[in-house]
Amino acid sequence: MHISIVCLFMAKIITIAHQKGGVGKSTLAYNLATCFQEQLRVALVDIDLQGSISDLRTTNPSLDIISDEDFDKIKSLNYDLIIIDTPPYLSNRLPDLFHISDYILIPTKAGFFDVMAIRSTLHLVKEAMKKNTDLKSGIVLNMIKHRSGITEEVKSLLNSFDAVLLNTLIHDRVSFARSPITGGVLLGEDEKAKEEIYSLAEEIVNTL
Ligand SMILES: Nc1ncnc2c1ncn2[C@@H]1O[C@H](COP(=O)(O)OP(=O)(O)OP(=O)(O)O)[C@@H](O)[C@H]1O
Ligand SMILES: [Mg+2]
């Protein structure tokens, strides 16, 4: 895949947010970072001081992992792309973070309660878009069970939110669960997982 992001002085920022825990924010943040790292200077940032991303320092020394950087300075750090992982609650820092972001990725499981919980994050995104008019966002369905897919109820709920639903579906795969220890799915053998991460990266880049 060829990734082309025009960066003039300022890094692009992709923030991964959803107030619900366990929807795959950190897993996708990490796998996207390893994917973009093939062609860009990438940093992964954890704004949760207890966050799991910081633990990746031991398993992937080649990735720049920054903890809790000052938002005022972050955009001028010497990177092409900065991926920011956020905690599973509506931190009072999210509005400032959304203000400096270029893209907000909202991963969710396809369950009714997971999808309903997106609304508060979407509300914050829409508020941020009033000032940061170039801000883009997209919802990605994660941990989709094989065969069961997404139900019509969930599809129509998501459509009612007036938000972009990405075409890429990330399925429930052991390779994703193992990815923090294996260095990311792109280093492994699971071709379908690789395709899903490349497809997600491409969809994001195409709107950046
Ligand atoms: N596509 C997937 N297939 C299988 N397992 C997954 C997938 N995505 C995430 N997981 C697993 O689901 C669990 C939750 O994922 P993760 O920690 O990335 O979520 P999170 O949204 O960052 O959680 P928190 O909000 O608590 O930080 C982890 O055990 C992870 O390995
Ligand atoms: Mg997390």
Q: Which of 15, 16, 19, 26 for a ligand 1 pocket mutation test, highest count of atoms within 8 Å of Cβ?
A: 26
| Position 172 in a domain | yes
Is residue 8 in some structural domain? no
Kindly give the distance from the C-alpha atom of residue 108 to the centroid of ligand 2, in angstroms, as a whole number. 12
Residue 7 within a domain: no
* pTM of this structure: 0.94
Ligand nearest to the CA of 28: 1
CATH of the domain at 167: 3.40.50.300
Q: Is residue 199 part of a domain?
A: yes
Which range of 45-49, 58-62, 105-109, 148-152 scores highest in mean pLDDT? It is 105-109
Average pLDDT, stretch 173-180? 96
Q: Is 146 part of any domain?
A: yes
pLDDT 10s digits, 5-14: 555 568 899 9
**What range does the domain containing 104 cover?**
13-207
Type of residue found at 186: L
With tokens 């129509």, the residue in question is: 156
The answer as to whether 39 is a domain residue is yes
Question: Please, which residues bridge with residue 44 across strands?
Answer: 65, 83
Structure tokens at 166: 């990405």
Q: How far apart are CA 208 and CA 202, in angstroms?
A: 10
Question: Which of the residue ranges 45-59, 67-81, 163-177 has the most confident prediction, judged by mean pLDDT?
Answer: 163-177
* pLDDT tens, residue by residue, 122-137: 999 999 999 999 999 9
Higher pLDDT: 80 or 90? It is 80
End-to-end CA distance of the chain: 16
Query: Per-residue b/e over 188-201, b at no fewer than 16 CB within 10 Å?
Result: bebeebbebbbbbb
Residue 27 belongs to a domain:
yes
Ligand nearest the Cα of residue 117 is 1
Torsion of CA 130, 87, 205, 43, to 10 degrees: 120
How far is Cα 183 from Cα 195, in angstroms, rounded to an integer?
A: 16
